[in-house]
Structure 1
């Protein structure tokens, strides 16, 4: 049996469509990942699969890139229709599956790291979610951006608990709001001092 003909007039067009298809998936995945990790805090490897960080005193000193793979089937009949919306609808499905795989890896790794450092807050040990939230802010080491503003952490909570936490924030007494603002002020001071110390280690040359 002969192989089915690919519905492209040339190999170059086939490669171009495949490349744009893959690039669309990569863009969708990167857009979703930005909600978890700032693109400024990521590393890109040009070659190789392993990395080392001898100066890391808390986490792993070495590691290896983890592969995420997804299978998707696109019917030849849909391709022949020449309807881009049908073809590229699969990019969203593939990107979603890739993000599900990434999420599992991401939160598993976060649990491992926090367990190693002891930087864990148990909600059951506090009177309310808001109390646990404030305690969490106290344990996190924060940083500042280029303009000297505090980089607040991204909080991920179960969807079932979102409304409950929002109501606790709305109904919180003034003392709780004051406590949270005090924590943020302290973190800003600490982060600013740390950044100044970091910059002071670099050589300063005259203009």
Structure 2
């Protein structure tokens, strides 16, 4: 802030703490639409990490800085226009969320290029594509022991069309898709059993 409309430092500190906390809560809510909370890591020190066992994503990475700016009119604050604060917080949240979405899409594209698991959508309905994509994927188990299903990004302009295609697929597709999920879960459970068998067990 260039000018701070507070006479007392403690009021300024309280305002900024509340302002940044509101932005943090809003961005966390939007982020969790794409990334589960247990897949979000917090760093207390350092800026880099390594994951050499990851065959498709980055084997090395680092913390990237993202930023945005906004303005709060001194006149609006002095006039008691509280809504200006909420508008500014919302603007920051939207900008951060847009950067997060672009970052996620870039990571997905990089993973696709490395794995070469790209499905052509030519002449196929969305349910057909969804089934074919799940069929070629190695789906992991979540902490609850259930399949950690992938998140699908759909253009807002295509949502009504996609929903109509899913509804038109009917119960027959639902049964077929459910059977595929059961198969994927069994495969994931088998992989987990094999992974655990590699660790030495000490009997007490």
* Interval of TM-score (by shorter of Structure 1 and Structure 2): 0.7 to 0.9
Q: 1:45 aligns with which of 43, 50, 59?
A: 43
Q: 2:108 aligns with which of 92, 107, 110?
A: 110
**TM-score of the two chains, using structure 1 as the length reference:** 0.86
Shift of 1:175: 4.4
Task: Give CA-to-partner distance per residue, 1:22-65, whole Å, 9 cap, x none.
Answer: 12111111110111111101211122322222333332221222
Aligned twin of 2:94: 96
Distance 1:147 1:40, change over 3 A: closer
Matched residue of 1:192: which SS? helix
The answer to whether structure 1 residue 179 and structure 2 residue 176 are counterparts is yes
| In structure 1, C-alpha distance between the alignment counterparts of 2:75 and 2:67, rounded to whole Å | 25
Q: 2:159 aligns with which of 157, 162, 186?
A: 162
Could you list the runs of 5+ residues in structure 2 that have no partner in the other structure?
none
Could you list the runs of 5+ residues in structure 1 that have no partner in the other structure?
none
| In structure 1, C-alpha distance between the alignment counterparts of 2:19 and 2:141, rounded to whole Å | 37
Aligned twin of 2:191: 194
Aligned twin of 1:131: 128
Shift of 1:16: 2.0
| In structure 2, C-alpha distance between the alignment counterparts of 1:52 and 1:113, rounded to whole Å | 16
Matched residue of 2:157: which SS? helix
The root-mean-square deviation of aligned C-alpha atoms, in Å, is 2.2
Shift of 1:72: 0.5
**TM-score of the two chains, using structure 2 as the length reference:** 0.87
Aligned twin of 1:142: 139
Distance 1:147 1:52, change over 3 A: closer
Shift of 1:83: 4.5
